[in-house]
Amino acid sequence: MDHGKARVLAAGPRCPSLGMWASKASISRYSVPTPIRTWAMVNEARGSGGGSSDSEGSKDSSRCSTPGLDPERHERLREKMRRRMESGDKWFSLEFFPPRTAEGAANLISMFDQMAGGGPLFIDVTWHPAGDPGSDKETSSMMIASTAVNYCGLETMLHMTCCQQSPEQITGHLYKAKQLGIKNILALRGDPIGDQWEAEEGGFDHATDLVKHIRGEFGDYFDICVAGYPKGHPEAGSFEEDLRHLKEKVSAGADFIITQLFFEADTFFHFLKACSEIGISCPILPGIFPIQSYSSLRQLVKLSKLEVPQEIKDVIEPIKDNDAAICNYGIELAVSLCQELLASGSVPGLHFYTLNRKMATTSVLKRLGMWTEDPRRPLPWAISAHPKRREEDVRPIFWASRPKSYIYRTQDWNEFPNGRWGNSSSPAFGELKNYYLFYLKSKSPRQELLKMWGEELSSEESVFEVFAHYLSGEPNQYGYKVTCLPWNDEPLAAETNLMKQQLLRVNRLGILTINSQPNVNGRPSSDPIVGWGPSGGYVFQKAYLEFFTSRETVEALLQVLRKYELRVNYHIVDVKGENITNAPELQPNAVTWGIFPGREIIQPTVVDPVSFMFWKDEAFALWIEQWGKLYDEESPSRMIIQYIHDNYFLVNLVDNEFPQDSCLWQVVEDAFELLNRPAGLVREVEAS
């Protein structure tokens, strides 16, 4: 491995103290290399739009191409269904609606992340004509569906209705959906705004017209679903007439059908038989509604114009004021219905109307044995479901805990790394100016964050304790558990527990870790803690440690690191951009890789020196944007966070000797030991 001499990459005024230690470590100093400076200038010129539409804005395409680790990333929804049906593997899908508030949008995205863990084949998002559904508002149907695809990695279907829309408006919405990576549409006429359906001048009156329009304008790009009504549409003249309309929708180009809710399995079986007799052969998914409260049942029945069976009314009426009892009954009813449907052998999957609530649906799925929380991951980081990212399998490690931010900052790339990261002088990261986008901000409200991170800070050491409590899981002095940090809004990764005691010690001493991984040498890909990728493989990791620390600790680290020059690569940078490193210029360092049967080696995470300089802007900004701004501007707490932001350094260390026990903890211990030596002994060490 090429270990160059340590050097300073200057991108701002030098820190005299750090410069002194760099000089003593025989570090040469030079300006930012031309490729990096050009890249930064190009990115700055683009502004918040970030990436480019040409080759400068995407990763170098001259890289090896590797077969996908997860075949479902490359399949259309209808292909996934076909494969599941052929294998007899049952699936489920989930329906959500756009919330009315920005806080509701953030909560819904959090629910997407949680529900994704159970393995839905897809989700769908309803279209509300009164809520500006095609806009860029965070509460719009379009933005919720886009976020599910791009930032939550969920196969997503967007509802589209004819209501109050011209064909031109519908086409515009569909082009936007395509650009955002949405590949599936549920084509509906839509419910009337008033009591009666009013046709839009020049618009469509039937879902069949919408299906034809989508196929005419977009060919086979979208997979199209349509609605089926097991008891017939309430406005249809007869059940038989409604079936003929359904057949027309399928003949026009629909790929599958999701039914309106129903309460008895025989209702669905009768509908299924009638569809078969009329020549409908596409998949038909039953719509399942777990009753969750008396009010939600009444509202849904009113909208769907369905009659609730008397035996269900007889149970619910006496307990209509007890939501918990109704919900428990609804779960039992849904489980029984689903078991009867699945036992018939004619139902390939179940579609759940969730009402944006988690508990009832997950309870039903767990009872059915369909909720499968597989600890194995296709890759070590959260993937996006956007079609243009389906080949992506390499990312810098820095955004490991902020994958949505990485996706946001690379959304304008045309190509994504596949097989290897490649040369670092090419990509342009978009600038992150808005830390409060509903899919990027913390899920915890301000008051909860203050309880976790301290309503009042007294010193830098009180900040150290916040990090320690996050790692330990123990309540802080106010009795609250610290469940997130600005750099990680999620609970600790399982592999962090492998280093928990070492991390606790160094954080309490001022090494404020925001990213780490242990060394791994050939563990099975099925390992529940560090495994990823398909079965039968082996995974490897270099020990990695990323942290903020004080100037004094950096000075000690620079001395200690001289002893590890051939083993440890490091980058040390301040908020102004002065970067001290011994890593080869523009050369990424693979820190995670895997070997799988019949495939080339996959290296999904790298330490990339240029990407690190873009990450450091975000990492430093989070001190102020997510933590400092919780306090009044002139308060002592705000000043402490501001001081850390202005004076601490961001450091990453890589131990390249992955087969051996990590030396990074010893590096840190040696630095602490040096810090605690009397001044005279320190001078002797410097002289030696």
SS3 assignment, position 515? strand
Q: Would you give the end-to-end CA distance of the chain in angstroms? A: 27
Enclosing H/E stretch for 254: none
**Sheet of 538-541, strand order:** 395-396, 602-607, 589-595, 538-541, 520-524
By CB atoms closer than 10 A (0-12, 13-18, 19+), residue 102 is middle
Contacts with 85 (C-beta within 8 Å, 6 or more apart), sequence order: 283, 348
3-class SS at 334? helix
Strand partners, 224: 185
> CA-to-CA distance for 267 and 622, rounded, in angstroms?
55
The SS3 of residue 91 is strand
d(CA 183, CA 223): 6
Burial of 204 (0-12, 13-18, 19+ CB in 10 A): buried
Burial 539-561, CB ≥16 within 10 A → b, else e: bbbbbbbbbbbbeebbbbbbbbb
- Tell me the chain's radius of gyration from C-alpha atoms: 28
Burial 107-134 (b: 16+ CB within 10 A, else e): ebbbbbbebbebebbbbbbbbbbebebb
The CA distance from 421 to 606, in Å, is 7
CA angle 16, 17, 19 (to 5 degrees): 65
Question: What are 461's strand-pairing partners?
Answer: none
Q: Which of 44, 72, 86, 95 is catalytic?
A: 95
CA angle centred on 355, ends 184 and 235, rounded to 5°: 70
**Nearest of 616, 546, 610, 628 to residue 576 by alpha carbon:** 616
The CA distances from residue 500 to 160, 471, 479, 495, 549, in Å, are: 49, 7, 21, 9, 19
The closest of 75, 93, 128 to 259, measured between CA atoms, is: 93
- Please give the structure tokens belonging to residue 433: 């100016």
Q: Label the pairing between strands 284-288 and 349-353.
A: parallel
Return the residue matching tokens 């408006």: 169
Which residues touch 639 (CB under 8 Å, ≥6 apart)?
Answer: none
SS3 of 36, please?
A: helix
Is 95 noted as a catalytic residue in this protein?
yes
Q: Which residues of 383-399 are buried (b: 16+ CB within 10 A; e: fewer)?
A: bbbbbebbbbbbbbbbb
Burial per residue of 42-72, b for 16 or more beta-carbon CB atoms within 10 angstroms, e otherwise: ebeebeeebbbeeebbbbbeebeebebbeeb
Residues involved in catalysis: 95
